[in-house]
Structure 1
């Protein structure tokens, strides 16, 4: 290979390097990593010749750094080169090397330094230090290059505790400037979050020996982004990193990809892999640095949390770390949700959803090793899903913003598409519309996040959340996505175990999720036919409330241009008119005739004047693996002569036993020839661990009703002793009076975030207000409680309007 003369005043003249480089880039059989490596080797030979021809003396070395140092040379990449020396050199030596490079038209980033100078620059400039970590020998004194590498790596490891937070801040600021590569229509392949810069950061973290990134798919993802960048350089002839819309078709064609959408989807998938690896790795770094500075733990125990056993997998040395229960089979450890030591994923198909829901509700994420184990060992859910699985999905979605990192962790290991096979068609699917800021799948989960803040507006928050998650699921199919989505959601809802009525509601919401905004913005709101069209679609007031909330959640999750105060007012006005047309009383399912067991308990309570109890553990077939024999809950029936504070007292005892109320009803029975008694029917489940013994629960109920057990004090003592756990911000509780809903009682509706002791606090507040609960309907839908209490005054009459408002306000304050 012929090289140019070294003197800076000589004109550039043709050499073999340019021709060889052109032939290499034009070779149709050479591409990807092989071409980048070949290009780096070709450049190495050229620069080595320039170093030799420049008469470089002993004690100098030409070193490649940065991307060139890693051997990742794209067609238009800069050449990052360092001339390293250990003593005085001819001042003209660097120019004799650099000028031929400049004359060739190559972009050159150069420096001339001694080893001490290189160390000093690295100490002052983090970006320079990162580039030097990839130092690779090209020519000259190899021992000098080796000394540079070993010295700088030692410095990097010694200063990791200070440098890694600085690097993390650098990555955060870059992400804020350039956005997330996974969702941008014109992404920066290098600088955006999830791009090639983050791959460099992960390698730098690994070089500290403190933590390492999850490796599955990471190398392939980085190679895919590099391939796209190469094709972009060759297509545009420029050193650009931004994959603009006008270039995407040509880049796709050069890579042999079907079309630009397929290209973007591949880019997004690669970026998500890198982003997830970054998130996992930075959490590991945070734990290690916290252990060093605050707790003094041995680093060897937590430095490499990706081996499949150890931290996060459930295999933890007894007493090594603090573990706090979150749910059955799930505990909190080091700020993450991990599996309890006794958890058996292979025997518990609901465990992934239970772990995810518990983590999100606690404001945590699921540990990497835990998600890996769940993906590897958990068996598919039976069809239809067990009730618990559906409830846990709704609880996960109801966590709002805290759902996002948990969802991403499940998706990274394929658990989402295993639960929802139709998700694969929308996963990473781009939306070529400037109004949309997200891919289809991320838009769906973002809509659910926004719907979680609106759960107090609807009587069925569970249906709102599921409809939000699935409303655009039809975009993965041909034709109108609303029509396709209706068909898909009927199948998905049936698999999830929703009954026909709820399935029909979900199908209506998905089919018409654009109807309100389209009608409000395109039709005359004063035309009676406009309101008639809406009422005909929704049919009922609860459906209208759900569709209104879904419409707003969908629009606000789309982007700033999709929702405005003007559109909100148009939709709100239309909804108000339709609601007035549909207005009617609040209805609840009739209690039905009492069973023989309930009548027996009522007679016993009336005869003895004390409580009559019946407890029955029940199972849910197929929900816990192949046997289907594990107890899933307790049905508790209590008959007792009415007395003040009854509801709150019984609910408090259940809370003491860590039982959560899934549903409950309270009504009055009139045994023959006896005074009326109250019948409380409960369905409860254990928060975690085993169900309490029936005899112990019965004894505590009797003691509480007799007054020898102070339930409120016991609950307060337990709460005070428990460590404070961070949780998510939830919408505030809403307590309202249902106007004109009953002629014999006042109905108070309570919508709140479910929490231990919630029903106990409601009961105490109603008792303190001096009202009598005649009938109650209690439901827990995911993480939301939706309750209705039929209350009267002491004489058994409905409350006066102002009194009803006062009671509602008192209950809301008690829950605040």
Structure 2
């Protein structure tokens, strides 16, 4: 049997150059959507392969077939996809003839520049390889004959499928472990700023694996629009191939704007939202499918001999809700069409029990639950708070409801932040997932506050303003939160507390890391913003939960200590107590101060190192130490500078460029030589910077703000600039040359941006007058730009 639709044998195959030209024209054809283009590309490639096959093997074609596997086998080719081909033969032809046919097929493909993954096998050989190699097996499940004997291909496809079904219970565990290893390497597609579209969790390989599970008959086809999600990821990958001209599977940052233009959507963030939405659909389908597989493959307790095995009875957990086969489902008395609170009650019960919500149950809740009355009844608010406070169990139940559309039905504002990326180095989640993770962290801290319910709702809403994409997201979020809280039925006073928490959720951490905590004006400003001790305690707890949910870079012992000390001082002010004494030095710092001379200490801290430098206070000390740290290839993440009994105590949080710990003796020696002018730090830094390649991308000018009212005893200057080698050294040197003393400083590096805050005084120890402050600001701006 020969393949129907094959070209006549008399047709001369197109040359590689001719096929490449036709292929380019097809890819440039306007108005051809992604799936249509992939199908057209596969069809055009099939036609060319048939021409070459007919020329290589004219006449009878029994016992030989050219087959496509993988994506090509499914009739879908991306612009830069490999051609995965198998030349099948039944062994009746001699090896020389088979090799001649293979060469006649493979060489023109290589000459065309297309990447080729090929094999030449008998059906028996193919089955043997598939029994040992899962990747080969998965490809053969999609085998499609392009030219030659359809019967030979159908026989192999049927045999491989039979082999897979008969061995699936033994091999599905192997497939799952291979997926997990791939996820560990590539990460989660939905939450990465540079997602790996193929290999990551929720990527295209997961779709292939889930199709294989369905083909095994061990588990049903997953719920949800799996095929639609796969097509959306393929559309993005096609645009990536076309815009970059390369066979990329990782959506690199520098390619995202071009991909957006190729897809005809707004911007790079919109591309990432499309990717996140599709990947979460795929990952959720995978979670439910693999959970079912593991249940079916788990060893079961044998029943006594001759005893009929009864199906397990659902375990009632709450009215209308039961556990069945490890999932929460609706019980017989669950009334969908008259109980608007049922989705929240089901979510709370499932999360507290640590159970996933059955996908079918989530879909029924979305389809049949009546609209929630406004304002919400007390039962609904209680169920929401219980759900948010359930801890780690909240995440997957929230995802089930989100995939089914229940979340947006209850909270329409959620659409603003759903799948929205966060382009900051400290965040590991999209805005919506980060908000849920903040609830998880807050749930473990609720015993610190008098109103856990307000804490949890504030955790859910704290970043809702990021959906507006303009202005201060905290203030935008406060504007959005007010109507939401009214709709949820919170009393006006409680709603105002949550609005304040949303508006000020960055206040403590920003103030602690960018202002002098020992300055009394700092505590006064924070106290005026929060208004009461109760709100302060809620805000401190929300701050910690927010930072812990963001990622390990957002919360360190140093940062936690600063926030705790600031909170202590603000609490004292709110209670009318006298200001606490200045933050005491640690015993280690006191020991260094007692030495009375230059002393340096290094200790590990939060993935980096804390470097403490103690020396007699002098103008230019900040610049000198910062420069030496830069020479030692130590990047400053943050710094706190203070003076005690005329001795400067500077604590620097640093990371090493190549991961090596700072060498204490070398650091102390170089600081000592620099202070004695035996080491020209500035010249060495300039020489090193000149040897580096120039920075890519547009140059963003620095900004310098005189922060009014931040201190009564000093002028506060906040510098924001692109971080670069020796920046802090240059700023400190400029201040010293201008005759300005740095009384204290807070230094932070946030990804590629440096935020350096200096508390400065003039030579006589007084704050700068307005004109002098403007002059110094101009100097710093010029130095930092």
Shift of 1:289: 2.8
Q: Is the 8 A contact 1:17 1:46 kept in 2?
A: yes
User: Separation in 2 of the partners of 1:363 and 1:555?
Assistant: 25
The alignment status of 1:53 with 2:55, answered yes or no, reads yes
User: Which residue of structure 1 aligns with residue 28 of structure 2?
Assistant: 26
User: Which residue of structure 1 aligns with residue 313 of structure 2?
Assistant: 322
User: Which residue of structure 1 aligns with residue 150 of structure 2?
Assistant: 142
Report the CA distance shift for 1:579/1:119 in structure 2 as closer, same or farther (over 3 A): same
Equivalent residues in 2 for 1:299-378, closer than 5 Å: 320-378=311-369
SS in 2 for 1:234: helix
Shift of 1:462: 1.1
SS in 2 for 1:332: strand
Equivalent residues in 2 for 1:234-633, closer than 5 Å: 234-290=242-298, 293-294=300-301, 320-477=311-468, 478-583=470-575
Give the CA RMSD over aligned residues: 2.4
User: Which residue of structure 2 aligns with residue 36 of structure 1?
Assistant: 38
Residue deviations 1:112-169 (CA, integer Å, cap 9, x gap):
1111111110110111100111100011111110100100001111111112111111
User: Separation in 2 of the partners of 1:489 and 1:577?
Assistant: 29
Report the CA distance shift for 1:240/1:2 in structure 2 as closer, same or farther (over 3 A): farther
After the TM superposition, which of the residue ranges 539-548 and 333-342 deviates more from structure 2?
539-548
After the TM superposition, which of the residue ranges 178-187 and 85-94 deviates more from structure 2?
85-94
User: Which residue of structure 2 aligns with residue 161 of structure 1?
Assistant: 169
Residue deviations 1:719-778 (CA, integer Å, cap 9, x gap):
xxxxxxxxxxxxxxxxxxxxxxxxxxxxxxxxxxxxxxxxxxxxxxxxxxxxxxxxxxxx
2:241 to 230, 233, 237: 233
User: Separation in 1 of the partners of 2:337 and 2:397?
Assistant: 21
2:207 to 186, 199, 204: 199
Residue deviations 1:757-803 (CA, integer Å, cap 9, x gap):
xxxxxxxxxxxxxxxxxxxxxxxxxxxxxxxxxxxxxxxxxxxxxxx
Residue deviations 1:495-518 (CA, integer Å, cap 9, x gap):
212112211111111111011011
Shift of 1:536: 2.0
User: Separation in 1 of the partners of 2:414 and 2:32?
Assistant: 36
Q: Is the 8 A contact 2:16 2:108 kept in 1?
A: no
The alignment status of 1:222 with 2:230, answered yes or no, reads yes
Q: Is the 8 A contact 2:141 2:157 kept in 1?
A: yes
User: Separation in 2 of the partners of 1:6 and 1:198?
Assistant: 41
User: Separation in 2 of the partners of 1:437 and 1:93?
Assistant: 52
User: Which residue of structure 1 aligns with residue 710 of structure 2?
Assistant: none
User: Separation in 2 of the partners of 1:579 and 1:521?
Assistant: 18
SS in 1 for 2:516: coil
User: Separation in 1 of the partners of 2:64 and 2:149?
Assistant: 6
Shift of 1:322: 2.1
Report the CA distance shift for 1:82/1:6 in structure 2 as closer, same or farther (over 3 A): farther
Q: Is the 8 A contact 2:73 2:142 kept in 1?
A: yes
The alignment status of 1:71 with 2:75, answered yes or no, reads yes
After the TM superposition, which of the residue ranges 273-282 and 214-223 deviates more from structure 2?
214-223
User: Separation in 1 of the partners of 2:288 and 2:187?
Assistant: 19
Residue deviations 1:408-430 (CA, integer Å, cap 9, x gap):
00000111111111111111111
User: Separation in 2 of the partners of 1:225 and 1:128?
Assistant: 23
Q: Is the 8 A contact 1:3 1:50 kept in 2?
A: no
Equivalent residues in 2 for 1:644-683, closer than 5 Å: none
Report the CA distance shift for 1:460/1:388 in structure 2 as closer, same or farther (over 3 A): same
Q: Is the 8 A contact 2:12 2:51 kept in 1?
A: no
Q: Is the 8 A contact 1:84 1:113 kept in 2?
A: yes
Q: Is the 8 A contact 2:224 2:285 kept in 1?
A: no
SS in 2 for 1:346: coil
User: Separation in 1 of the partners of 2:203 and 2:352?
Assistant: 30
SS in 1 for 2:373: coil
Q: Is the 8 A contact 1:3 1:16 kept in 2?
A: no
User: Separation in 2 of the partners of 1:26 and 1:521?
Assistant: 53
Q: Is the 8 A contact 1:206 1:212 kept in 2?
A: yes
Shift of 1:547: 0.5
Residue deviations 1:610-656 (CA, integer Å, cap 9, x gap):
xxxxxxxxxxxxxxxxxxxxxxxxxxxxxxxxxxxxxxxxxxxxxxx
1:104 to 112, 135, 157: 112
Q: Is the 8 A contact 2:223 2:359 kept in 1?
A: no
Note the residue ranges of structure 1 that are not aligned, 5 or more in a row: 298-317, 586-816
| Structure with larger RCO (C-alpha < 8 A, sep 6+) | 1
Aligned residue-pair number: 560
